[in-house]
Structure 1
């Protein structure tokens, strides 16, 4: 296992899925206390394969020699060092890693630290002067300064939101789900492997980015304290909020999208009912909730908008009455026109009959 390469699909080689033994090795290296089944990590390992592949692109600039890490054993050593020294600043961690990777440059070690963050913590952080692969569109990055510890970086990435005021704290509409956001607001969901982009919404493109790796979050809650436990738990809660367990439409949509986190439970999955429960994601949820509460603009949106049943029935009954009135008006007009045509034809027929008599009336039959 120690010699199993981390870049097995570079330089024209076809990318192959991670084998079962490799998956177990990574899981135990990243989350040694996790009790979850390896089968639950399927979507996460697909993300891991993708994140590794783009780290060596474009190939004329980045390749496997740009990194100190060459095997999954190397990756495990970096994770272990970063976990044990999560309270130390980046420069100190780099110094400790020099002992693990002698005769390698600081740039290679530093770039490997950034790659490890992407794989282990799903945070796209980088040092000031180095990059890992090409800049990815719509992928937020944060700089990891030499004087900042890993725990401090996590706190800076996900600060506690204190903008809620009493008037904003209230019950969340049970209809506030991804399915209704898609139907009522025409929002498009894009899945992201970057925690920094979770719940980010672009109003110009109507794209909502969501982090779907629930098993990743559960594993960090069980095994690692680099990410604050309260933050991890709350992130799971946002998924339970937007994808309510037991809702048939949600289950069908996730199956269609190939997402399996719906079947992954975490403690007692009670759906949040108040924005006051969200200390980290409150701001983004509020912004999304404002979009959700906007009035529908199309007939299709109005059809799906059943948040207020009385209003929905009133509107569509009124629309039905207008439609019936318009329909009967057209029918009545058409019937009246046909009656006029028939009456004219009957009049002409009666004139013709009268003029066919031996002594026709001159006032009607003069030509």
Structure 2
């Protein structure tokens, strides 16, 4: 029996992940970009397959399969092959009725949503028992390719004439200086969306997944490449502070953050121009505006906020002078008290 014929109640075995990947994303290169220069194939795909398992738990395994009749990983791969074709959703549902003979209409719809989520890492279809701060997309008609292309087709509308993506603008500075929390997401459609009254931003961290989608025609042209550019902008490889911070964050997180994120490269000055972004331009503009408008309110933010060099220098020099002045006054007071005490003791004796 093939590993893909294993029950959905079992995770995809480590040794068979490359086979599953090729069924999901197509034929892959024999050369992979391994984190930390290791050849650990399992570690490379670990982040994606944690997502795979979570989605199977959410839809395929929940309440003993009440929401889906997908029984094996092979079933998922077979539905994925249908989704790759220019078939309307109702046509896909008719074809899987033979594949999942015992499935009712609701189970068939959920099975389609599960396969679509695993194929694209986009939160397609509402699941009543799913808790998420993000949004789901409702695909009801047309082919999956048409639906995805239409969703990402909206052109950039916000003004961006004064927006500059400086080298200092990255995920760490957004959090430390801008005071914006980073909410990691598995949903590509939520990438760079500001939330919580502009106090948090979603970031899609699955860089290893994105690197294997550049030839996936289900996405609009250059969407994947541009998404990778946003990650290179926010997590530049040349910045050791970001690498250290992210690795520490990933080690503490139970979310399964992609280790590949801080190793995909960086953008040069020409590539950092806002005009180079189309799909994510508006969200980048909003994030940059929030960052530019943020003013430090804690000593930590004052220390890290070096956007205005002279102002930063003046503040810390003034603070240092103030501290020295206070210490000098305290020392003078101590000396006065000590002198008075000595006089008192001498008179008493």
Please say if residues 190 and 208 of structure 1, whose CA atoms lie closer than 8 Å, have aligned partners that are also in contact: yes
Deviations 1:52-99 (A, max 9, x none): 11225752xxx32532422121111111111012xx432233234335
**Counterpart in the other structure of 2:38:** none
Please give the root-mean-square deviation of Cα atoms over the aligned residues, in Å: 2.9
Query: How many pairs were matched up?
Result: 328
- Structure 2 CA distance for partners of 1:344 and 1:41, relative to 1, 3 Å: closer
- Structure 2 CA distance for partners of 1:233 and 1:344, relative to 1, 3 Å: same
**Counterpart in the other structure of 2:315:** 315
Partner secondary structure for residue 140 of structure 2: coil
Deviations 1:21-44 (A, max 9, x none): 431221110122321534422211
**Counterpart in the other structure of 1:28:** 22
What is the alpha-carbon distance in structure 1 between the residues aligned to residue 147 and residue 84 of structure 2?
13
Counterpart among 176, 195, 220 of residue 188 in structure 2: 195
Counterpart among 131, 154, 157 of residue 163 in structure 1: 157
Deviations 1:266-321 (A, max 9, x none): 7x865742222221112222222223221111112101112222221111111112
Counterpart among 204, 217, 238 of residue 225 in structure 1: 217
What is the alpha-carbon distance in structure 1 between the residues aligned to residue 23 and residue 140 of structure 2?
25
Alpha-carbon offset, residue 180 of structure 1:
1.6
**Counterpart in the other structure of 2:67:** 66
Alpha-carbon offset, residue 20 of structure 1:
2.9
Partner secondary structure for residue 142 of structure 1: coil
**Counterpart in the other structure of 2:246:** 254
Q: Unpaired segments of 5 or more residues in structure 2?
A: 33-40, 252-257
What is the alpha-carbon distance in structure 1 between the residues aligned to residue 127 and residue 343 of structure 2?
87
Please say if residues 115 and 132 of structure 1, whose CA atoms lie closer than 8 Å, have aligned partners that are also in contact: no
- Structure 2 CA distance for partners of 1:101 and 1:269, relative to 1, 3 Å: farther
Query: TM-score by structure 2 length?
Result: 0.83
Query: TM-score by structure 1 length?
Result: 0.79
Equivalence map 1:55-204=2 (5 Å): 55-56=59-60, 59=63, 63-64=64-65, 66-85=67-86, 88-102=87-101, 104-126=103-125, 131-132=126-127, 134-146=129-141, 148-165=142-159, 167-168=161-162, 170-204=163-197
Alpha-carbon offset, residue 109 of structure 1:
2.0
Report which stretch shifted further, 303-312 or 73-82.
303-312
Alpha-carbon offset, residue 103 of structure 1:
5.9
Please say if residues 59 and 110 of structure 2, whose CA atoms lie closer than 8 Å, have aligned partners that are also in contact: no
Is 1:52 the counterpart of 2:56 in the alignment?
yes
Deviations 1:233-291 (A, max 9, x none): 1111111111011211111122221431136537x865742222221112222222223
Equivalence map 1:292-303=2 (5 Å): 292-293=291-292, 294-303=294-303
**Counterpart in the other structure of 1:330:** 330
Q: Which has the larger radius of gyration?
A: 1
Is 1:41 the counterpart of 2:45 in the alignment?
yes
Partner secondary structure for residue 222 of structure 2: helix
Q: Unpaired segments of 5 or more residues in structure 1?
A: 9-16, 353-367
Partner secondary structure for residue 202 of structure 2: strand
Please say if residues 164 and 276 of structure 1, whose CA atoms lie closer than 8 Å, have aligned partners that are also in contact: no
Partner secondary structure for residue 220 of structure 1: coil
